[in-house]
């Protein structure tokens, strides 16, 4: 029988990390995600699986500890929230440049600066367009439930190792803090063998030494490296994931991810009760982004509303997908404020129904 | 007499360790990096731990350290080498992990990572090359630049009133309970090289004991950054750097060494 538990989103991430066979977690406390480190420390994963859990002195240190563990071919994970994720960016750029796998979770809060501790989706650009310096991308997963918080941890690790690329779970304080029923997956054993084609675990006589670096002073080589990265990012398109809700007969479309998608799903229900046929597309991967799916849906609807807990970020990707075929607008509360389903419907009516 | 008559096994007094690669060193003539690299690799060869060692390279002149030492390497962001080494060591506690860092990397931008990895007592070796200047970027003031010392960003000499004082990281980390062996050495003379090698060897051997950080500072000259000839630079280092950064053991086997003892030992 499957194991069911009532858990916070943050706790689900932590438990899933242990069960996913993670080798190491390095983190630094920040609201609204401190439960992850607390849960792991209380759970003594070292006794359960041999997993290392260490509280670092800063986010700078935490991401670089991940860098070290990832270089050894291990499953390493770190988590933080917006201001801490900004501090990660240096390390993430190096990890992406050195093509190492790791899992990063951003439980987003409102910004800019120290901002607020309430939920937000204001880190969309940072998450999907690179974040740090240089031309690189993370593979970005956006859970909309505590169950997905749990399930995306092993998925994230698998994708990270498949592409040797950092994977980011982009969630927010709403899903991190709320409690839901979770069906936990069985313990996945920690790996005992590591890909000897790239790991830095000590040069053995049977192979060349491995140098994990993002540096190449020869610009022609660096251009080639960037081209190779772009090829990899193109390949990632096969991982595009999304959920279509009532799109078949929809006259209008809402595009929303994560917590905003949960709110907007209620909007769709209310609207349909009033006879307005709205459908919803929920992107699950934010990078790679489901441009083609949205483009196709745009052929059959009169207008699209991008509903986000920010001042309008993902709407730019929706517009890129739609390419002028129909009107695309943004609605959302921000700075830690959360829109209600009714507010979304009112905004929708104002933009698309009232002339 | 032919060359082969001279280079015979019984006549060999020195052999280059095969653990140094054939790549041409990118360091300036007179710089201490090359000698220190060689000492590390001689120690690793003698201990027979090449297959179990991973180095962490910094940002600075020795960013390309991995080109010269035949090991698995990871090149860390500026100052973060001790954090990267922590990650490596925590998932591979049986391996030998060391960082190789300059004074800008270790004592300025990486101060936090240095202090905290030492304070946690990570079971790693830290090799710290202190030449009192940013060499790679062209001779700017470093955290360890001496008072009054001229650099490209202290062209009238380091004014400690506005630019702060040089930081003695080695003395600082020796105060932390997480450090097990802390020493300051040099590689500018044959006797100094012998002592430095002994210290580096101890710093690697200590990893087997699992008792905390072994920290070896090497005071080095940077004749390019100091705008001197190699010979002038060595003389200047002896006259100016050594009085401020005195050579000798600071902490051995977890115990702080008394100043007089350390000086006595260094003179002998």
Beta-bridge partners for A254: A280, A305
Distance separating alpha carbons of residues A10 and A12, to the nearest angstrom: 5
What's the pLDDT band for A129 if we cut at 50, 70, 90?
A: very high
Nearest CA-CA distance, residue B196 and chain A, Å: 24
- When CB atoms are compared, the residue of B74, B96, B112 closest to A68 is B74
Per-residue pLDDT at B6 exceeds 80: no
What's the pLDDT band for B82 if we cut at 50, 70, 90?
A: very high
Question: Would you say B144 and B130 are in contact if contact means Cβ atoms under 8 Å apart?
Answer: yes
Residues of chain A contacting residue B71, judged by C-beta atoms under 8 Å apart: 202-203, 209
Alpha helix ranges (H) inside B158-216: 160-163, 169-174, 190-205
Nearest CA-CA distance, residue B81 and chain A, Å: 8
Contact A74 B91 (CB under 8 A): yes
If we measure between CA atoms, which residue out of B210, B207, B217, B222 comes closest to residue B249?
A: B217
Asked if B42 is an interface residue toward chain A (Cβ–Cβ < 8 A), one would say no
Q: What is the SS3 assignment for A176?
A: helix
Region A3-238: CATH code: 3.40.50.970
pLDDT of A355 reads 66
Give me the mean pLDDT over the A30-51 stretch: 98
What's the pLDDT band for A115 if we cut at 50, 70, 90?
A: very high
Asked if B65 is an interface residue toward chain A (Cβ–Cβ < 8 A), one would say no
- Residue B236 token pair: 């200047």
Question: Would you say A315 and A273 are in contact if contact means Cβ atoms under 8 Å apart?
Answer: no
Portions of chain A given CATH number 3.40.50.920? 242-353
Per-residue pLDDT at B267 exceeds 70: no
Per-residue pLDDT of B160-171, as tens digits, reads 999 999 999 999
Contact A76 B87 (CB under 8 A): yes
Distance separating alpha carbons of residues B28 and B61, to the nearest angstrom: 10
Chain B (111-170) residues lying within 8 Å, Cβ to Cβ, of chain A: 112-113, 115-116
Question: Would you say B148 and B156 are in contact if contact means Cβ atoms under 8 Å apart?
Answer: no
- Extended beta strands in B58-203, E state: 72-75, 96-102, 125-130, 133-134, 140-141, 179-186
A242-353 belongs to CATH 3.40.50.920: yes
Express the helix, strand and coil content of chain A in percent, nearest 5 each: 40, 20, 35
Per-residue pLDDT at A266 exceeds 80: yes
Distance separating alpha carbons of residues B86 and B96, to the nearest angstrom: 11
For the B28-267 domain, the top CATH level (class) is alpha beta
Q: How many other C-beta atoms can be found within 10 angstroms of the C-beta atom of residue B204? A: 21
Per-domain residue ranges for chain B? 28-267
The DSSP element (H or E) to which B86 belongs, if any, is: helix B81-91
Asked if A212 is an interface residue toward chain B (Cβ–Cβ < 8 A), one would say yes
Per-residue pLDDT at B268 exceeds 70: no
Contact B72 A56 (CB under 8 A): no
Q: Is the dihedral of CA A140, A145, A146, A152 positive or negative?
A: negative
Distance separating alpha carbons of residues A206 and A197, to the nearest angstrom: 11
Q: Which of A22, A68, A197, A225 to mutate to test binding with chain B, by most B CBs within 10 Å of its CB? A: A68
- Residue A326 token pair: 């129909």
Q: What percent of chain A has pLDDT over 90?
A: 99
In Å, how far from its chain's centre is CA A100? 17
If we measure between CA atoms, which residue out of B36, B186, B144, B168 comes closest to residue B98?
A: B36
pLDDT of A264 reads 98
Chain A (81-110) residues lying within 8 Å, Cβ to Cβ, of chain B: 90-91, 94, 98
């Amino acid at each position: 029988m499957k194991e069911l538990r009532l858990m916070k989103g943050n706790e689900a991430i932590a438990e899933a990390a242990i069960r996913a066979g993670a080798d190491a977690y390095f983190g630094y406390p920040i609201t609204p995600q401190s439960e992850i480190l607390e849960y792991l420390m209380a759970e003594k994963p070292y006794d359960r699986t041999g997993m290392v859990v260490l509280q670092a002195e800063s986010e700078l240190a935490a991401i670089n500890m991940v860098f070290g563990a990832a270089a050894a071919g291990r499953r390493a994970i770190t988590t933080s929230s917006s201001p801490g994720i900004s501090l990660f960016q240096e390390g993430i750029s190096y990890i992406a440049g050195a093509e190492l796998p790791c899992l990063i979770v951003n439980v987003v809060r409102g910004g800019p600066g120290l901002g607020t501790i309430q939920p937000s989706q204001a880190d969309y650009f940072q998450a999907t367009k690179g974040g740090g310096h240089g031309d690189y991308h993370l593979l970005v997963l956006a859970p909309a439930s505590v169950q997905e918080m749990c399930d995306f941890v092993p998925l994230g690790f698998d994708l990270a190792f498949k592409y040797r690329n950092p994977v980011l779970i982009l969630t927010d304080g709403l899903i991190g803090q709320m409690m839901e029923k979770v069906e936990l997956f069985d313990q996945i054993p920690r790996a005992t063998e590591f890909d000897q084609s790239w790991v830095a675990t000590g040069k053995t006589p049977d192979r060349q030494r491995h140098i994990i670096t993002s540096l190449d002073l020869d610009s022609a080589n660096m251009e080639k490296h960037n081209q190779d990265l772009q090829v990899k990012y193109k390949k990632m398109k096969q991982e595009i994931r999304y959920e279509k809700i009532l799109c078949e007969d929809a006259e209008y479309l809402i595009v929303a991810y994560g917590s905003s998608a949960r709110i907007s799903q209620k909007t769709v229900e209310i609207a349909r009760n009033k006879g307005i046929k709205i459908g919803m597309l929920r992107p699950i991967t934010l990078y790679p982004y489901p441009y083609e799916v949205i483009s196709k849906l745009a052929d059959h609807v009169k207008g699209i509303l991008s509903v986000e807990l920010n001042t309008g970020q993902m709407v730019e990707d929706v517009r890129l997908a739609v390419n002028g075929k129909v009107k695309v607008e943004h609605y959302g509360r921000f700075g830690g404020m959360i829109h209600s389903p009714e507010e979304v419907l009112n905004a929708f009516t104002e933009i698309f129904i009232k002339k | 007499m032919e060359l082969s008559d001279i280079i015979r096994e019984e006549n060999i007094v020195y052999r280059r360790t095969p653990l140094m690669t054939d790549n041409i060193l990118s360091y300036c003539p007179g710089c201490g990096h090359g000698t220190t690299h060689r000492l590390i690799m001689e120690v690793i060869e003698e201990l027979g731990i090449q297959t179990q060692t991973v180095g962490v390279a910094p940002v600075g002149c020795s960013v390309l350290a991995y080109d010269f030492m035949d090991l698995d390497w990871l090149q860390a962001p500026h100052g973060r080498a001790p954090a990267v080494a922590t990650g490596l060591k925590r998932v591979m506690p049986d391996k030998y992990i060391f960082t190789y860092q300059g004074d800008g990397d270790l004592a300025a931008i990486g101060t936090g990572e240095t202090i905290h990895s030492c304070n946690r007592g990570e079971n790693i070796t830290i090799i710290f090359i202190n030449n009192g200047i940013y060499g790679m970027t062209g001779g700017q003031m470093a955290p360890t630049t001496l008072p009054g010392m001229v650099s490209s960003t202290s062209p009238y000499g380091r004014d400690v009133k506005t630019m702060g004082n040089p930081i003695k990281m080695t003395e600082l980390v020796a105060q932390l309970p997480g450090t097990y062996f802390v020493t300051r050495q040099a590689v500018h003379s044959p006797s100094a090289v012998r002592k430095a090698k002994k210290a580096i060897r101890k710093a690697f051997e200590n990893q087997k004991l699992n008792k905390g950080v072994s920290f070896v500072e090497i005071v080095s000259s940077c004749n390019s950054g100091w705008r001197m000839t190699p010979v002038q630079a060595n003389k200047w280092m002896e006259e100016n750097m050594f009085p401020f950064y005195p050579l000798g053991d600071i902490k051995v086997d977890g115990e702080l060494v008394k100043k007089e003892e350390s000086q006595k030992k260094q003179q002998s």
